[in-house]
Structure 1
Amino acid sequence: MKDVTQLHEGWSLRHEDALLPARVPGCVHTDLLAAQAIPDPFIGHNESEIAWVGRQAWSYVTELHHDSEHERTDLVFEGLDTAAEVRLADQSLGTTRNMHRVHRFDVTGRTGPLEVRFASAYDEADRVRALTAERPNAYPEPFQYIRKMACSFGWDWGPTVVTAGMWRPVRLEHWSTARLAEVRPLVSVDGSTGRVELRVRTERTANGAGRRLTLRAAVAGAEAEVAFEGDDAVLRLDVAEPALWWPRGYGQQPLYDLDMTLLDERGDRLDARTHRIGFRTVEIDRSADAHGTGFTFVVNGVRIFVRGANWIPDDVLPSRVTPERYRKRLAQAVEANIDLIRVWGGGLYEDDAFYDVCDELGLMVWQDFLFACAAYPEEQPLRGEVEAEARDNVVRLMPHASLVLWNGNNENLWGFRDWDWEQPLAGNSWGEGYYLGLLPRIVAELDPTRPYTAGSPWSGSWDHHPNDPRHGTHHSWEVWNRQDYAEYRADVPRFCAEFGWQAPPALATLRRALPGELLAPDSPGMLHHQKAVDGNVKLNRGIECHFGLPEGDFDRWHYLAQVVQARAVAAGVEHWRASWPVCAGTVVWQLNDCWPVSSWAAVDGDGRLKPLHHELRRVYADRLLTLVPTGDGPVLALDNQSGSDWRTTIVLRRLNAEGTVLHEASLELAAAPRTVTRRAVPGPLLPGEGSSSEFLVADADGLRAVHFPVADKDFDYPVPEYDVRLDAVAGADVVDIVITARTLVRDLLLQADRLGPDAVADRGLVTLLPGEETRITVRGWTDPDMRAARDALFNVGGV
């Protein structure tokens, strides 16, 4: 049987003619940080001070000893970042130039000093650029010339921290006769029968050539075996009536162990592998209809309105992201009622632990191939690397039931059409051959059980503009970049795969990242941790449009920026959900951050929840009550994405600013499963057009929607008055803050991190009418204090 030895101990990093202890998996930055040789790039302006690290060559060294009775020993690197030469006993084993591949070297019978020499990623990119010629991109960094995590080179939410090192595990594999080199389980459902077509390729030693090999497999009580023909075998297993894997909210997520064993002619075990699989079907309905061209996920025959979020690498130093951190962050996605995670194309094919958690939690995964916001050369040496990388990762990830879509790229088809690329390209390749040729062929060959789309956004063909909202997937960035969030309601995209609004991170996150700084929207550290072009200008424009800019009051600016972010995303989701089934999904940009920064994230770089996270929980819930503004007044929408009927009584009230009910009515409405019911608001309940003193409230089953006919800055809010009390929970680190309103209190928010850096609240923005009470549960507040509670409460009408 194959033996495996992990090689994580005993490594050193050469630095200034000295050897520093090195941790594997890891990278140069993590080792320099551990040795206190560089400052933390996340703090202050340190990112700029450590830029030299990414422009230097580095070496890792250890002593390789192994003694095995097996015929073959392989040195396996699961991830080398990025341009490297591997040397053993001062002889070259080979070179690498791709962060996203596994590299394997035969070291049978060889020992001695082992060195991995990493070139600067900039030097490698410059070398390739000289071979392929210049290509345009969206950022002034050369990320399209090297198969490396693009956002290492900075993005409009990320720092420039260009890494190098052994970022995934290193091991020795000792084996004889043959090993399992490639395992591809094609999982499908035919009626009530689950089918697994297992395609396996072996690698043999010289002694194993021509010997009889057998593959034995079992799953869910079904067993079979097959003899190899040459190096390949195909084995089929039928499972009677397997329980189906469903996205969260649609059913359970049963997973089955698929056990595989490679046997020699004597029946001795040579190698074994286990994958967890789930039985389900998935397709994308891209049918043409009266509205254009659809893009609807269909899982197990059920049409789904996707409630998604985009995922970026959770740390710009990705070796620091542990399985526990994946689970925490993805659990936060589930808490926000997210059912799909799009793994964005400027990042990574994440670790298997990421997809394992998605399998368990029912989070569908949309996986981009790693191309983003640039024209990519299709010549060598990149083309061969792209194909090998795609093959490696399709095979690695295809066992996961959560994986529902392969996507060719992020924004490059759109970029070619709209970002003035054609003239500077002058006919040179730019990636189209990957997205419309190479990648769909690889997916069709290796993983035909899943759909593929050429890009996001993409209208399905060049017959339509790549970002036409009427066809396929759409990215909505005119809003935020140039327009107010009310413009989300100007159209109904078939599937909105990116949209979002910025806000600063939690105050405790800012204080940790900017120690000692007098915080202001334009203070030096705030501007350094704002990477978007004109980011603060756009933030301020959004605040000004609705509230007016607070002068000299950072705390209020910070609060209002977070309110606008939550309201903006809610405006888009509410409008597009109410337009189901024409619109079949929203994927908000973005779930997470890779460092402390003002960004579009719902969870900030220290893992703290912004108000947006709580708002996503509301607007992504199975049942959503909304008042959607239209040109003819607000429309009541009962959105039922649950699997059961929703019949309810909706209480509608027109009130004045003082909370007096001017008109009230009840409506009996029903929405069948996975449907939306829309109803015009009766005339007597409509606030006067342009009224600064009237508003509308709809309540049903504990859900609330509000409609104000004017911007907050034009509404005559009363001076907010409310009572606060603290209710401690005996024997627990929990305190309930109970707020009772004596006036209208709009978008009340408790910023829990002001109570303590580890304090967490269970609620976000809430609007209270006079006499109403809300209870906010706080965990991790070690020293409850009434005054501190009041100081941590904000609302749009005042503090």
Structure 2
Amino acid sequence: MYERIHLNQHWKVTGIGPEGNEIGPFEATVPGHVHIDLLKQGLIPDPMWRDQALHTQWIETYSWMYETEFHWPETYERGPAVLRFEGLDTIACIEVNGEVVGTADNMFISHSFPIGQALVAGTNRVRVHFTSVSTYLKDKEVNKYMSLFSQDRVFLRKMQCTFGWDWVHRLVSYGIWRPVYVESKPEGEIGSTFVRTLGLDGDTATLSWGTEALSRTGNGCLHVELLDGHGKIIWEQTEQIHDVGRIGFEGQFTVDHPNLWWPVGYGAPNLYHFRVRLLSEHGRTMDEKTEEIGIRTFEVEQIPDPQGESFTILVNGIRVFAKGGNWVPADPFPSRVTKGRYEHLLQVLVDGNMNMLRVWGGGTYELPEFWRACNRLGIMVSVDFMMACAQYPEHESWFEHAMRIEVEHAIKELRNHPSLVLWSGDNELAMNSNSEDDYWGKHICEQVTAPLCAQWDPTRPFFPTSPYLGRPFNSQDEGDCHYSSWYDMEFILGDQLDYRERIRQGRGRFLSECVSFGAPPMSSLLKMMTMEDIADESAEMWEFHTKDNPYNGQDELTHHRMLEKTANALFGPNLDPFMRTKKLEYVQYEFSRLQAEHYRRRKYASSGILFWMYNDCWPASGHAMIDYHGLPKAGYYGAKKAFTPVMISFEDHGRELAVWMVNDTLEDREGQITIKSMTTDGQEVSETHLCASVPANSSAMIRKMDKGDLGLLHSPANTVVQGIWREGGTVERVTYFDVLPVELKLPLSDLMVNWVADDPFSGVIEMSSAVYARVVSIDEELILEDNYFDLMPGETRSVKYRTISGTFEKHPRVTCWNMLENR
């Protein structure tokens, strides 16, 4: 009979310092990390506040001993019992009743240790001893390999950004970071299982399946079945077992009229369940496993053209424009990321009209709750194997062996998720190399990642590295690229006044990283620093929570000063810390929106843009679109506007203004376009009405309009143009002015705000202004339908909201840049 005892409670932890001094024992959280428990005990300050992370660095110099006890009943079989840790972070020795049963040296894999010989009926004691990083590295040649941000990290199979990056402080921790349990399966067990979609032919899908099983009885059978979304069995098969030992089963079957899995915006993300049961000869279940799957195909279309070669994801044979961001660990201590936190971040992604994430190679392969949410929400995910921005010891046998185990484990654990669209060998190890070069990561690719993907997941696309293809890798003409019009040092060190033209010059085929930089909202800043810190001209705390990249080709400006320079150049300097912060926020909105609009107009000459980054790992100012606390930043709302399924945008053509429509849906769309030109103080200049048809899954220039007719040539500094797309009840807007933002003449606005609560958790905020209201922002911790938008003179805008947590029962604070009273 199958038995399992969970060991996620009643742990104690003790720290042992370099000199043998001890701290503890005290209660330990499992799954968890030692930083979390030290904070609970009041033994460290909160490392997220100001520069207090500096006062927690001693933790990594300690070794940590976790201990617990459990009861094993006399009636349970001890022989086949195993102690399974789904995740240990990282270098660990495991004892049961004083006997060493195993060791661990990889955070990214599970560990199973046979304990039948050490186990006793009654009380059993488990110890997990984590070795400090410094102790583990004492016989390593730490400076042998080039590694960005820290030299020591390449020797440990541990979350790489925990050693510090240009967006997170170094916070090296230890712990049993995933669930742990003891189990015994005396009659047999089911191993790795896969289901693949081999092809779609009309109304029929062909699937292959396979599973590994261990039989300890030599009889019985394996029963496999496919269940639809309602739990109905639509296919099943039974395989007889005649031998003791490990057995592999494989087969193929077809499904008529399948409900396909589609990415959000292209159809429903339909799910099936593939259930495998190991049955005794009398029909009793000895072990069972169920995998959540989707019926779909993935390809990457690469067609030569005059520019180079396209790079487009095909789902079920349909081209998909990828819109989204790069996912990094949502906490420096990944055990702290709950199911609710995952679901919030991923729902906000979908609400932002995005359909894809790239799991970056300096983090983790993410927990099952992440993948289940992506499957359910229709989010496409690409995954880097966990190597980033470094020269790894790939020719050393221990490293190749470790990677072989890790990569096979990751593939088998993730391959059934319908959301997983492609694998990449690493992040930026081969940046600016050519295919014939002996680039970093090439040996591991040729010997480990490529052959293992071909062996264990042959129907899913694999690329050796990211960025990849072109001469050199990171070309805008083929493959994927890591490119941003803002994060370009020539642009940063210049006057930046040509930023719109620079954006229009971008031609990347698939931007798997596109930097968009900005400050978080004031409420989030005040969770990491004081108001005095925010106003401090030395920007000490800003710098601490922004970090910098010493490898970006210039030493003149830090990341924070780069952002500040852009805000001053485009929007004008401001001595008031509130308004200065508003402009630091809006840089990200401007670049997110304009870059997303540009690349979508190029559809499918360009086929995707994934912003760097989507989420944040700790309280920070900088890259992320969603801050550490789960609150969308300005850049999120800029991208959301530009990622709307049917988008209207303007493109500057000298003396003409082009009106564009982009349709990401799979249906032709017909609607009405209104082009309205007004002065900022409310005088109407012109109004034009157009009927437009936009073919499915395409972009189209609808019309070029003479700027003279729009008033943009006569008085450009006080003239704004709005484009409105109407289709049924759908309304999409875009605004344009011909001068630099800092040159726009803004009258004072008497912004009017009305608030209607539907319930304590949701409602509508209504705003209007008699004159042009620049950058209207709702300054509350809410998830909003829209934010950081401009209001045309006389326009009324209604914005729905919902709370992140708790209730909202006060009049919302709403501001705009040219408000009569901006405080």
Query: Please, what TM-score do these two structures have when normalized by structure 2?
Result: 0.89
Q: Which of 461, 467, 473 is residue 457 of structure 1 equivalent to?
A: 467
Amino acid at match of 1:784: K
2:717 to 692, 696, 719: 692
CA displacement, residues 440-492 of structure 1 (integer Å, 9 cap, x when unaligned): 11111001121111122111xxx621011001101114622422443222121
Deviates more, 1:372-381 or 1:610-619: 610-619
Match of 1:176 among 172, 186, 194: 186
1:302 Cα shift? 0.6
The separation in 2 between residues aligned to 1:254 and 1:125, in whole angstroms, is: 48
Q: Percent identity?
A: 26
Does the residue aligned with 1:81 lie in a helix, a strand or coil? coil
Alignment of 1:237-248 (within 5 A): 237-248=253-264
Matching residue of 1:6: 6
Matches within 5 A, 1:461-610: 464-477=471-484, 479-482=486-489, 483=491, 484=496, 485-486=499-500, 487-515=502-530, 517-520=532-535, 522-533=538-549, 534-551=558-575, 553-610=576-633
CA distance in 2, matches of 1:797, 1:410: 48
Output aligned runs, 1:262-411, within 5 Å. 262-378=278-394, 379-411=396-428
For 1:183 and 1:42, locate their aligned partners in 2 and report how far apart those are by CA, in whole Å.
41
**Aligned position for 1:721:** 749
Whether the 8 Å contact between 2:773 and 2:817 is mirrored in structure 1 is: no
> Alpha-carbon deviation of 1:189?
3.5
Q: Alignment partner of 1:231: what SS?
A: strand
Residue 82 (structure 1) aligned with residue 90 (structure 2): yes
Instruction: Give deviations 1:12-34, integer Å, cap 9, x for gaps.
Output: 10132531111111111112112
Query: 268-277 or 63-72: which moved more?
Result: 63-72
Q: What secondary structure is seen at the aligned counterpart in 2 of 1:650?
A: strand
Q: Is this contact kept in 2: 1:689–1:709, CA < 8 A? A: no
Deviation at 1:60, TM superposition (A): 0.7
- Deviation per residue, 1:92-144 (Å, 9 max, x gap): 222211000111110014234321111123443454546xx711122134222
1:410 Cα deviation (Å)? 1.0
Superposition RMSD in Å: 2.4
The code of the aligned residue for 2:62 comes to: Q
Aligned residue-pair number: 772
Letter in 2 for 1:12: K
Q: Distance in 2 between matches of 1:261 and 1:742?
A: 68
Letter in 1 for 2:732: L
Which of the residues 727, 742, 755 maps onto 2:770? 742
1:50 is paired with a residue whose SS is helix
**8 A Cα contact 2:682 2:794, kept in partner:** no
2:773, 2:816 within 8 Å by CA — same for their partners in 1?
no
Alpha carbons of 1:127 and 1:239: their partners in 2 closer, same or farther (altered >3 Å)?
farther
Contact 1:720–1:798 (Cα < 8 Å) also in 2: no
Show the counterpart of 1:756. Answer: none
Secondary structure in structure 1 of the residue aligned to 2:475: coil
Residues 533 and 539, structure 2, Cα contact 8 Å, conserved in 1: yes
Contact 2:83 2:114 in 1 (8 A): yes
**d(CA) in 2 for partners of 1:56, 1:458:** 40
CA distance in 1, matches of 2:769, 2:668: 34
Inter-CA distance 725–91: structure 2 relative to 1 (3 Å threshold): closer
CA 1:402 to 1:735, structure 2 compared with 1: closer, same or farther past 3 Å? closer
Cα distance, 1:568 vs structure 2: 0.4
Secondary structure at the residue paired with 1:575? helix
| Partners of 2:546 and 2:622 within 8 A in 1 | yes
Deviation at 1:84, TM superposition (A): 0.9
Matched-pair contact (CA < 8 Å) for 2:400–2:448: no
1:40 match: 46
**How far off is 1:204 after superposition?**
5.1
Asked if 1:615 corresponds to 2:641, the answer is: no
Q: Does the CA-based 8 Å contact 1:457-1:472 persist in structure 2?
A: yes
Q: Describe the SS at the equivalent of 2:190.
A: strand
Q: Note closer, same or farther for the CA distance 1:731–1:453 as it changes in structure 2 (3 Å cut).
A: closer
Report the 3-state secondary structure (helix = DSSP H, G, I; strand = E; otherwise coil) of the residue aligned with 1:180.
strand
Give the Cα separation in 1 of the matches to 2:780 and 2:559: 26
1:368-424 Cα distance to aligned partner (Å, 9 max, x none) = 111111111111211111111110111011111111111111111106579xxx9xx
Distance of 2:631 and 2:200 partners within structure 1: 44
Q: Aligned partners of 1:125 and 1:685: how far apart in 2?
A: 70
Could you tell me how far apart the structure 1 residues matched to 2:360 and 2:205 are? 31
Q: Does 115-124 or 354-363 show the bigger shift? A: 115-124
Counterpart AA for 1:18: G
Secondary structure in 2 matching 1:692: helix
Distance 2:751 2:716 in 1: 29
Q: What's the offset of the Cα at 1:178?
A: 2.2
The runs of 5 or more residues in structure 2 that have no matched partner are 16-21, 228-233, 550-557
Match of 2:101 in 1: 93
SS of residue paired to 2:649: strand
Of 128, 131, 136, the match for 1:124 = 136
Q: 1:87 to 1:570 in 2, by over 3 A?
A: same
Distance 1:10 1:415 in 2: 51
Deviation, 1:316, is: 0.7
Distance 1:126 1:416 in 2: 33
Q: What SS does structure 1 have at the residue aligned with 2:431? A: helix
Structure 2 partner of 1:193:
204
Residues 128/394 of structure 1: CA separation in 2 closer, same or farther (3 Å cut): farther
> What amino acid sits opposite 2:2 in the alignment?
K
Q: Distance in 1 between matches of 2:289 and 2:761?
A: 44
Structure-2 separation of matches of 1:621 and 1:178: 51
CA distance in 1, matches of 2:455, 2:819: 56
CA spacing shift, 1:278–1:376, aligned 2, 3 Å: same
User: Contact 2:516/2:635 (CA < 8 Å) preserved in 1?
Assistant: no
Question: Cα distance, 1:731 vs. partner?
Answer: 5.6
**Structure-2 separation of matches of 1:631 and 1:141:** 50
1:775 is displaced (CA, Å) by: 2.7
User: Following the alignment from structure 1 to structure 2, what is the Cα–Cα distance between the partners of residues 345 and 563?
Assistant: 29
Distance of 1:134 and 1:627 partners within structure 2 = 52
For residue 733 of structure 1, report the CA deviation from its aligned partner.
5.3
Does structure 1 residue 250 correspond to structure 2 residue 279? no
Does the CA-based 8 Å contact 2:391-2:429 persist in structure 1?
yes
Which of 659, 665, 683 is the matching residue for 1:660?
683
1:264: how far off? 4.0
What residue in structure 1 maps to residue 65 of structure 2?
59
Cα distance change, pair 730–146 in 1 and its aligned pair in 2 (3 A): closer
- 1:699-778 to structure 2, matched below 5 A, reads 699-701=724-726, 702-717=731-746, 719-729=747-757, 732=760, 736-753=764-781, 759-777=782-800
Quote the Cα distance in structure 2 between the aligned partners of 1:371 and 1:695.
48
Aligned AA for 1:714? E
